[in-house]
Amino acid sequence: MNKQDIKIGVIGLGYVGLPVLSLFSQKYDCWGIDNDVLRVEALKSGTDTRKCQSNEELSQALRLSYITSDWSDLGQCNVYIIAVPTPVDKENLPDITHLEEVCKAVGNILSRNNIVIFESTVYPGTTDEICIPILEKTSGLVVNKDFSVAYSPERINVGDKIHQLDNVPKIVSASNQQALELVADLYGSVINAEVVRASNIKVAEAAKMYENVQRDVLIALANQYSDYCREEGIDIQEVTDCAATKWNFSNVRPGLVGGHCIGVDAYYLLKRSTQKKVDLPLVITARSINENKALQVSNRITAYAQSIRIDTKKIKILILGFSYKANTPDIRNTMIATIVKSLYGTFEIVDCFDPLVDNYEVELRYGIHMLNPDQLQLDKYDIIVKAVNHDVFDNFIGALPIMVDLNVFL
Amino acid sequence: MNKQDIKIGVIGLGYVGLPVLSLFSQKYDCWGIDNDVLRVEALKSGTDTRKCQSNEELSQALRLSYITSDWSDLGQCNVYIIAVPTPVDKENLPDITHLEEVCKAVGNILSRNNIVIFESTVYPGTTDEICIPILEKTSGLVVNKDFSVAYSPERINVGDKIHQLDNVPKIVSASNQQALELVADLYGSVINAEVVRASNIKVAEAAKMYENVQRDVLIALANQYSDYCREEGIDIQEVTDCAATKWNFSNVRPGLVGGHCIGVDAYYLLKRSTQKKVDLPLVITARSINENKALQVSNRITAYAQSIRIDTKKIKILILGFSYKANTPDIRNTMIATIVKSLYGTFEIVDCFDPLVDNYEVELRYGIHMLNPDQLQLDKYDIIVKAVNHDVFDNFIGALPIMVDLNVFL
């Protein structure tokens, strides 16, 4: 496949797919598709409610590529990059239905010599054992004979302005050597960082799992050590600052683990490791610590409130920030939802405000009513908890005497 | 205390104390003391069986300082730096008797305006609750009125030629602000890295604990993930190489956790956290995984041997390397002892050879008979396991077809 012949279809235009489309469209003919018709219409009009990238990047991507929700528009593509969500269900079991559906849709339009690249995070074996069979069955083609498959795990860090798609090393793996070289060259042509070739797809899948599971374990340890430091009467932040001056200490802070990655991927791994009959008690324990952190925080908020006024039923509290981390509107698996819900009933008023999130989406997904900017009356509260450290709060609200940083409850 | 008046007594001349003495003796009048008379005599004659530093550094330290095992020689000192071992006993409970004894001995010679600096790793609270009361009781002096106490955790990494005492940031803490500044200046005058001031002694103690416990947890996770990768038929080393290209991944490999630090400190923390009624299940689980690793490795060696010859009773095996890690003669808590002992009886011959360790000490401590160099006949074995990656093995033995790296069993 010659470089000038490459026509890329990016499937899924969310936190991963949109930056991918934006980057590749600078050098290649690109199509972007998302099944969410409303999102596609919004993107086309230049509005990205998820703020996956800057307005300039979005308008550039719109100028250089074709965005659609109609699969028949992708007929010319010969390279597909799949970046659909791989969440967990209510029982914390992997839900790969998006991935399976997209494999069917791509299989339907797949032609000879095409390459299908997966970027979604999955447990090792998913690409070989689930995705490839669906592609083969739907297309009637045979992998490595008629088409190739690659896996290149996304490392998008939502809200991170330093580590971007184009400056972070990219792991690539493929079903055959020729495809590996092609995919490595493809990514190498748009990113300014190392392209790391894994010897097979499972290695690349396992590397991504390891990255996120290690982080989950490190945050869980920080959360536990924070509990310990609290009993010693010392500050976990200062202790961590000191320890972080050692060359091999991982500078991880206590925190709420939400979002689409760290808190989710461990469940993917655990499903697979259970099938493989390998016990991973550290991973299970870490999950349980991080899952329980939100309730621990809300108990500490209540205790703090009681130290101000015994009868918490007369206390009005405002939670500032709702997304799962700073400077993103992403509300997937946000632990603030758990905190807010568990505070209902304890206080006279529990309000929540986040100028970045889509209030309607919060209501729909969590049943939590968010304040609109015109409803915000900061002077009516007894306690304001700054739960998420959005930059906008600095200008919008500033420092208030009754404001407490959520960090003190971690 | 003026700089020219400072006279330093370094107590404990092992892996930590000897480099400390060596460094400070370049700028200050120094005395070094160790209760082990034989070790002191050997050091005086220029022999350091523990190879804590280069011969040049040792001879320089000998030229510039006075080494003794007689406490009355330390009468002129006004700064004491305590670097004695803090091991665990057979039940994995902290054994701080060395520390307590040294506190008594220092208390006996302590004078007004002296400073006592602890470098030994201890659980938070040890300095305030155990060391200071002993110093006060034995000396009849009062802390912060008559004398001061400081804590600066050692970060010596045995066998590491890059991270040395003088180029790694040093945490300092003290019982009062004046002592903190003096101790910070003192370390700052001999090291070429940041001096990090902790706001109190407990913070510095807790930082050191956190460093080593985090590492124990990370290695335990690597050990578990290695088990998982084995079931997937992929190589944990390659998976880790890939993951390590992410900016915040901690590049930790599976391994045996032995020695005086990582494997021990968690037990110090656990004793204290239990007293404080804080559960640390991640730390407990990590310890148990790493403690069990040696037996897992020996089972895998046996399985490997059976793949060569079903009747392992006819197999002769050599274990190369015995110390707890590469390029050190340090045999404290080496997991190789567990592996060797568990292989006895399974094979016709289980031999062990390590040119760096003191064979007599191994016999005494572990009841394991080590080969002398003149007894080594490499061609008589069916399997040679390179258990420790000493540089000397490269020249001495080289690569042999029957040699297997221990890594493949991790």
Residue of B122, B171, B172, B210 for testing the chain A interface, max A β-carbons within 10 Å: B210
Q: Retrieve residue A137's tokens.
A: 């069955």
Q: Give the C-alpha separation, B30 to B253, whole Å.
A: 40
**3-state SS track over chain B:** CCHHHCEEEEECCCCCHHHHHHHHCCCCEEEEECCCHHHHHHHHCCCCCCCCCCHHHHHHHHHHEEEECCHHHHCCCCEEEECCCCCECCCCCECCHHHHHHHHHHHHHCCCCCEEEECCCCCCCHHHHHHHHHHHHHHCCCECCCEEEEECCCCCCCCCCCCCCCCCCEEEEECCHHHHHHHHHHHHCCCCCCEEECCCHHHHHHHHHHHHHHHHHHHHHHHHHHHHHHHHCCCHHHHHHHHCCCCCCCCCCCCCCCCCCHHHHHHHHHHHHHHCCCCCHHHHHHHHHHHHHHHHHHHHHHHHHHHHCCCHHHCEEEEECCCCCCCCCCCCCCHHHHHHHHHCCCCCEEEEECCCCCHHHHHHHHCCCCCCHHHCCHHHCCEEEECCCCHHHHHHCCCCCCEEEHHHHC
Average pLDDT taken over every residue of chain A: 94
* pLDDT at residue A75 tops 80: yes
What is the predicted pLDDT for the residue at A231? 97
- Backbone φ, ψ for residue B396 (5° rounding): -75, -40
Asked if residue B283 lies in contact with residue B217, where contact means CB atoms within 8 angstroms, the answer is: yes
The answer to whether A366 and A352 are in contact (CB under 8 A) is no
Write out chain B residues lying below 8 Å of A273, CB-based.
228, 231
Q: Which residues pair with B206 in a beta bridge?
A: none
State the Cα–Cα distance between residues B346 and B314, nearest whole angstrom. Answer: 9
- Name residues whose C-beta falls within 8 Å of residue B222's C-beta, 6 or more positions apart in sequence: B236, B240, B252, B253, B254, B255
- State how far the Cα of A407 lies from the Cα of A255, in Å rounded to an integer: 8
Position B4 scores a pLDDT of 85
In the predicted model, is pLDDT for residue B55 greater than 90? no
Q: List the structure tokens of A224.
A: 């536990």
Residue of B nearest to A125 (CA): B232
The β-bridge relationship of strands A115-118 and A29-33 is unpaired
**Residues A162-189, mean pLDDT to the nearest whole number:** 96
A339 touches chain B (CB under 8 A): no
B171: which chain A residues are within 8 Å (Cβ-Cβ)? Answer: 242, 245
Q: Does the pLDDT at position B280 exceed 90?
A: yes
Residue A376 has pLDDT above 80, yes or no: yes
pLDDT, position B262: 93
Give the model confidence (pLDDT) of B255-271 as tens digits. 999 988 999 999 999 99
Alpha-carbon gap: B218 to the closest alpha carbon of chain A (Å): 8
Q: Which range (A37-51, B112-126, B201-215, B360-374) has the least confidence?
A: A37-51
Interchain proximity B208–A243, CB inside 8 Å? yes
Confidence of residue B221 (pLDDT cuts 50, 70, 90): very high
Residues A192-214 pLDDT 10s: 999 999 999 999 999 999 999 99
Least confident window among A47-56, A379-388, B21-30, B99-108: A47-56
B313-322 pLDDT, tens digit each: 999 999 999 9
Q: At B87, is the pLDDT very low, low, confident or very high (cuts 50, 70, 90)?
A: very high
- The mean pLDDT value for B50-66 works out to 80
B282-320 pLDDT tens trace: 999 999 999 999 999 999 999 999 998 888 899 999 999
Mutation to test the A interface, candidates B203, B242, B265, B268, most A Cβ within 10 Å: B242
Could you list the active site residues of B? 261
| Residue B101 confidence (pLDDT) | 97
Strand partners, B352: B319
The type of residue at A17 is G
pLDDT of residue B355: 95
Q: Does residue A78 have a pLDDT over 90?
A: yes
Residue A12 pLDDT class (50, 70, 90 cuts): very high
Decide: B321 and B387 in contact? Cβ < 8 Å.
Answer: yes
- Give the distance, in angstroms, between the CA of residue A171 and the centroid of all CA atoms in the same chain: 18
Residue B56 pLDDT > 80? no
CA distance A200 to A175: 7
3 state SS for chain A: CCHHHCEEEEECCCCCHHHHHHHHCCCCEEEEECCCHHHHHHHHCCCCCCCCCCHHHHHHHHHHEEEECCHHHHCCCCEEEECCCCCECCCCCECCHHHHHHHHHHHHHCCCCCEEEECCCCCCCHHHHHHHHHHHHHHCCCECCCEEEEECCCCCCCCCCCCCCCCCCEEEEECCHHHHHHHHHHHHCCCCCCEEECCCHHHHHHHHHHHHHHHHHHHHHHHHHHHHHHHHCCCHHHHHHHHCCCCCCCCCCCCCCCCCCHHHHHHHHHHHHHHCCCCCHHHHHHHHHHHHHHHHHHHHHHHHHHHHCCCHHHCEEEEECCCCCCCCCCCCCCHHHHHHHHHCCCCCEEEEECCCCCHHHHHHHHCCCCCCHHHCCHHHCCEEEECCCCHHHHHHCCCCCCEEEHHHHC
Residue identified by tokens 């918490």 is: A312
ipTM for the assembly: 0.96
Contact B250, A250 (CB under 8 A): yes
Check whether B386 has a pLDDT greater than 90: yes
Tens digit of pLDDT for each residue in B322-341? 999 999 999 999 999 999 99
Residue B53 confidence (pLDDT) above 90: no
Sign of CA dihedral A155, A156, A162, A164: positive
- B50 has a pLDDT exceeding 80: no
pLDDT of A57 strictly over 90: no
pLDDT in the model for residue B400: 84
How many beta carbons lie within 10 A of that of residue A349, not counting itself? 13
- The whole-number pLDDT of residue B349 equals 96
Residue A287, pLDDT above cutoff 80: yes
Best of B127, B213, B225, B279 to disrupt the A interface (most A CBs within 10 Å) is B225
Q: How confident is the model at residue B61 (pLDDT cuts 50, 70, 90)?
A: confident
> With the CA atoms of A335, A339, A340 and A342 taken in that order, what torsion angle do they form, in degrees rounded to the nearest 10?
130
Q: In this predicted structure, what is the pLDDT of residue B348? A: 94
Mean pLDDT of A317-326: 96
Average pLDDT over residues A46-61: 78
Closest to B276 (Cβ–Cβ): which among A232, A241, A280?
A: A232
Quick check: B217 contacting A, CB < 8 Å?
yes
- Can you read off the two tokens belonging to residue B282? 């991640």
Mean pLDDT of A94-120: 97
Predicted pLDDT at A248: 96
Residue of B nearest to A223 (CA): B280
- pLDDT on residue A320: 96
Catalytic residue among A30, A77, A131, A261: A261
Please indicate whether residue B108 or residue B50 has the higher confidence score (pLDDT).
B108
| Domains in chain B with CATH codes | 3-199 (3.40.50.720), 305-409 (3.40.50.720)
Residue A175: pLDDT above 90? yes
Please tell me if residue A122 touches chain B, with a CB cutoff of 8 Å.
Answer: no
